[in-house]
Amino acid sequence: MSYEESIEIYKEFLICDYLNSYILNNLSLYLKYEYENNQEKLDEYKSSISEILDYTSLEKKEINNLLVDFIDQKIKTQEVELRYEDVKKKIRKLRNRSHYQIEEAILDHQRNLREKLEKIPNTLEKAENLLLGLISVFQKYPFFFYDQVYDAIVLLKDKIPSSIIKTIKNHWEDELLYHIRSSRPSNIFWNSELYHEIDDMISRYRIKDQFKIEDFDLVFKEVELEIEEFLLEIRNESVGSFDLWLISRSLELSNKIRGISTILKRIKSQQYKEGFWGSWIVGIENPDIRLTALNSLILLKLSPYKELRKLGIIGAKYLRKNQNSNGSWTFQFYNKDREIKRRDDILTTIICLEVLRRSGLEKLEDVLEKGEQWIESQQNQIGLWSNSSFHPPFLSVLILEYFKNKNEFSNQLHIYQDDLTPENIIFLGMKKAVEISKNCVSEENKISPKVGALIIKNGEIVIETFRGETSPGDHAEYIALEKKGKDLNFKESILITTLEPCTKRSSDKIPCARRIVEAGIKEVWIGMHDPNPHITGKGVVYLTKNGVSVGFFPPSIIEEIKTINKEFWDSKIANYYENKTDNHFDIMAVKKD
């Protein structure tokens, strides 16, 4: 059985989940509270169930017969309502109840589907395909899923149709309409479970930002203010660190939230000289591996100053020394008797691995290999990763993100506030590249990006160029490497460009990312990602996978580049939503020999 088949099997598995829920919840509530006064609506429920069955291989006639029995049983059965003091008895009754025949038929079918999934060997590719199946079902029944499905869509953005964004916008509009009718004061129109408010805000913010979803600006402005207020009020260090780590998953949000520097200072003040952060358990300060991993990663990702990044590296050294023999890292917690317990933990381990890759420490190969092997060994029988503390598919998304981006983590460059001076050749190069880009002129009947690029060798700028300087349509990197620099040796040189290098060209041309690798460039600094969600990030992945270190311009300069390229940006997004494709050759779609 192929991995591709796992998508269809998992889709049907999830649809059966939805079918069961629809019958036991939606239909049951209607029969209990509305049927007597609105019997005509029963046909609508039957029609919806029939439509859902069309997406499964369940025997339709058998299920319809069982559905008739279920409806008759529900209508005829007058259950006695238990008093408030009998709640425990009521819960026991619900837990111990026998399944309805229709429920058992669907569950039996799901068990068969599960067995098929379990026969497919567990790999990262299988997990990715299962998420694609989940996203496909989400497109049909968006209200059935937790908001963390948005994280899966961001992860797999280059493998899903642009129509999924129309589904999301329609779903949000339905939620907003219901919210308005409910006369609630907040602009935030979705409901979140207790303790998952921040998770949901960030999941929605990330997809809004990734796919440039418009029409909800006021809502997400309130999200920014809510998160900002939450961070400033937080008193529990471990909770604050967890939420700040979630925020760090959105660069756009991280750049907009005030007060992050205050929290970074607090994190700095609470680190022990050994490198760990502690949590109070039973009146004693204990080294806390997860808190140490969270704080170290926050410092490595969000620190505006070198001094703070160094503290993250010290934390990484502590984590390296405290890896378990099986490759995992430990999470500590209270049990019901208020005793300290510890367990090998998937979330803690994946965060520790990212910390170590971002730290730049040497001789980590064995540590990373053991940790990654342990993570892969924790894939469940279906092929995903799960944890009761997180809504699905969040943990699976985190793991697949790590394996997709681990080379980028290991080869990431940083520019700090300390570096933003005219004396710094990298910062000077960034400013020059932006100015050069303003010379670009679009080709006829086309909106082209305004791209400036330059090359630094031995601490000096040796080449400056812009897109189209030598001929209409010539990419800036191509001009720098093949035309202006055809007689130069670029080994150990630095390339600065205002737009992410392309990985996709027509078959008679070489993509710029490949030219950069083949030229021996050691560092690339990038202004903005390509705005097309099907392409964005691919240049970075290709470069880092091939050993090139990559860094990004400071946020203020990125905004300037976006302003200069607004017309291009808007046109690329429009093309994406119109599902326009081309026949260009994509080096990211070809496996290396």
- Number of neighbouring beta carbons within 10 Å of residue 589: 10
Separation between Cα atoms, residue 126 and residue 382, nearest integer Å? 9
CB 306 within 8 A of CB 417: no
Task: Could you list the beta-strand ranges (E) of 6-117.
Answer: none
Q: Which residues, in sequence order, are CB contacts of 326 under 8 Å at separation 6+?
A: 344, 370, 374
Q: Known catalytic residue: 226?
A: no
Chain CA centroid to CA 170, Å: 21
Q: Which residues, in sequence order, are CB contacts of 475 under 8 Å at separation 6+?
A: 451, 467, 502, 512
Separation between Cα atoms, residue 493 and residue 584, nearest integer Å? 29
Chain CA centroid to CA 360, Å: 23
Chain position carrying tokens 């990004």:
552
Query: Phi then psi for 252, rounded to 5 degrees?
Result: -60, -45
Q: Which of 12, 372, 408, 477 is catalytic?
A: 477
* Helices 306-321, 289-302: inter-axial angle, 10-degree rounding: 150
CB 497 within 8 A of CB 527: yes
CB 23 within 8 A of CB 70: yes
Alpha helices in 182-287 (DSSP H): 197-210, 217-233, 237-248, 251-256, 260-269
Strand pairing category for 523-528 and 460-466:
unpaired
The tally of CA atoms less than 13 A away on the side-chain side of residue 493 is 23
Helical (H) or strand (E) element with 528? strand 523-528
Closest CA to 243 of 201, 281, 204, 210: 201
Separation between Cα atoms, residue 548 and residue 542, nearest integer Å? 9
Residue numbers annotated as active site: 477
